[in-house]
Each structure stands twice: as C-alpha cells, then as structure tokens.
Amino acid sequence: MNAIRHTISLVSLGTFQLVRRTRGPHARGFLLGTGLGLASFSAVTYAHSAEAVNPKVNGVQMDTSRFMAEPITDSKALLGDKENMRHRMEILIMEIQAEFCRALEAEENCGQKFKVDRWERPEGGGGITCVLQDGDVFEKAGVNISVVTGSLPPAAVQQMRARGKNLKEGASLPFFASGVSAVIHPRNPHVPTIHFNYRYFEVETAKGEKQWWFGGGTDLTPYYLCEKDASHFHQTLKSACDEHDATYYPRFKKWCDDYFRIKHRNESRGIGGIFFDDIDSPNQEAAFNFVSSCAKAVIPSYVPLVRKHKNREYGNNERQWQLLRRGRYVEFNLIYDRGTKFGLYTPGARYESILMSLPLHARWEYMHEPKSQSEEGKLMKVLKNPKDWV
C-alpha cells in the first residue's frame, strides 16, 4: 500500500495531473476508485469510554467527541473553571480545529481523512497535529493546536522586548501559550493556499504580575489571481472585524500586507488578509470575542473558493508556476515568520508540527521572471504592489 501511494504521489507531479483534470469519465472513475481505497490508510480513530468522552463536573457534561482528539487539559479541569481564559481559549481552538478539518474533508473528492497526532510536551502541555496528505484536493493540509507552559528562553524574551513588551532580560519567565494554526496547500493551482493562526499568551513577570495578549490573522496566497475571490475573502474578514471595531480591518489589513512581505525579493507572499499581535484592549473579554469572530470567519472566507476551483482543469505550466510560488512560501516561513522562530527557540519544540506549514513539493528556478501580460505576470503586479480589495 505504501508503494502504491508513493507511486501515485510521484505520478501526480507530471502527466497524471493532466489526465486527472480531463473530462474523461474513465480517468475520473479510476482516480475516485483509487482514492476511496486509500482513504482508510491515513485515518486515525480514537476510541474512548463514555466517561472519557463525556466527563461530568457537578452534573455538567462536556462532549469531547466533537473534537479531533481529547483536549490537552483534563476535561474536568476545563469544566471546573470555565471562566479561566486559558480554558476558554483551549475550548475555542479545539472547536475551530475540528470544524475546519471536517469542512476540508468534506471537499475531498476521494474521501481522504486527517491523520490525528496527539502529543505531550515534557516541559508542560502538548498539542494535537492534524495532517491530510496526498489528498485529491489537498496535497498537504495541516491544522494544529498547541497548549504549552514553561519558561521563556532568552531568545524569545529578546524577541518580545523588541516588540515593546516590558519583560526583564535574562530572567526566567513562566509562560502559557495556546493557539490554533493551519496551512493548506491545495493540489489544483487554481485553488489558493490559506494560512491562519489565532493565539493567546500569558507571561508572569519577575514581580509576579501577569501580562496577557492575543494575536493572529488569516491570509490568502493564490497562484492565479481571481479578483472576485480576493474581494470575497477580504470582505468576509472585514465583516468579522467590523462587528467589534470599524478601525480594525484597515489597520490589520495594512499590518498583514507589511508583515507577509518577502523583503529580499520586494514582493508579498500573497494577497494578504488581516494580521495583528499584542491585542490586550479594551479588555480581555472583548479581545477574546474579537479573536473568536476572526477564527470563525475562516471557513466562509475560504471553503467557497475551494469548491469553486477544485475541479478546474490545469496543465504542467500551471503546476510548475504553483511550485515556484511555493518556493517563495518556504522562503518567508523560514527566514521571516515570527511564529516559526518562536517555536524553534522554545525548549522541547516539536519540529514536525512547527514545519508542518511547508509544502510537500516546491521549486526554485534561477532568474525566473513571468511575462508581464501573462496570468502569472498579473499576479506578480499585485504581489509587488498590494491593493485594496473592498
């Protein structure tokens, strides 16, 4: 079975891509039949006792079966202190992970499922990594949550001080961090890549004071520009922001354009979205509600684009351009992305989960420059000069 899957994966890089996007019913039937046979290979099923799935505290029950796996924090503890922001954020990210994974699985033509990997971190906490690989629609899709505690390493403290955090340099600072992060690399070049991350952070200072803040964002990386898609994506995010503050979207849209910039190439990674960090106002409740709205806007902003383009025909030229743009994605993540750096700096870092964002396949071609009037050239004009979409 491994050999079969590997062969199909390799063939899909070339001629197989051309065959699978033709209108021929025989080609489509072969692929669907093969995919259904392979779907069970990567599925992971969790079996729990009734009490483990539905723990009770004072008669209140939590249905953990709706999540991708058991929460990192004991379910009874989550129920016992529901007002604790750490617990509220963990429940939120578990829900976002499960809803997004199931929405993506529903778009797979061949029934491919996420592989679920629940892991624990010796230094404190753990996470749940969900990866769908070699799907018919998604070549690689990763949706992670992490709930970790420990002491901030010096490199992380220095990074936060550079952002204006009032933290003592050289001191051992206890921290708590939780978040959900996803990167989706589709197979069809007409379907864009999406990335989102929503997180909550607490640090205890040397004086015993607690500092907290939220961060996150959602951004889109198309390989071919569809202005209607771009407008839909940005309008959905704007609507989520406008529920809380009309100044949020323009502020965080510009922040996103500036952040996801591949400076050494003077081009953006994609067409942006929203990005923010260090949100600690007007109060914790309001900040949490804002982050919740943004996280819940991911599915309506993205899944309609997948459904619209996933079965479009494409050829080898489109595939090679997709691989080149994925190379740019890798460059940004490994050189500039703050979350990647923080993860790698953190003791006990789980590198497989941190580097989950990288695509299965990418390409670097020496001095490649698309023709300005080509479809690829049209995308490059927007990447060089970000524009407003709503």
pLDDT at 169 over 80: no
What pLDDT does 57 receive? 59
Higher model confidence: residue 139 or residue 4? 139
194-228 tens-digit pLDDT: 999 999 999 987 777 888 999 999 999 999 999 99
Provide the annotated active-site residues: 195
What pLDDT does 350 receive? 77
Instruction: Grade residue 39 by pLDDT with cuts at 50, 70 and 90.
Output: very low
Residues 6 or more apart whose Cβ sits within 8 Å of residue 17: 314, 315, 316, 319
Mean pLDDT confidence for 336-364: 81
Mean pLDDT confidence for 293-302: 98
Residues 6 or more apart whose Cβ sits within 8 Å of residue 115: 42, 43, 44, 130, 131, 132, 133
Calpha distance 94→88 (Å, rounded)? 10
Domain spanning 75-384, CATH architecture = 3-Layer(aba) Sandwich (3.40)
Residues 6 or more apart whose Cβ sits within 8 Å of residue 313: 21, 22, 23
What pLDDT does 116 receive? 97
Higher model confidence: residue 357 or residue 90? 90
Domain locations in the chain as residue ranges: 75-384
pLDDT at 316 over 50: yes
Residues 6 or more apart whose Cβ sits within 8 Å of residue 367: none
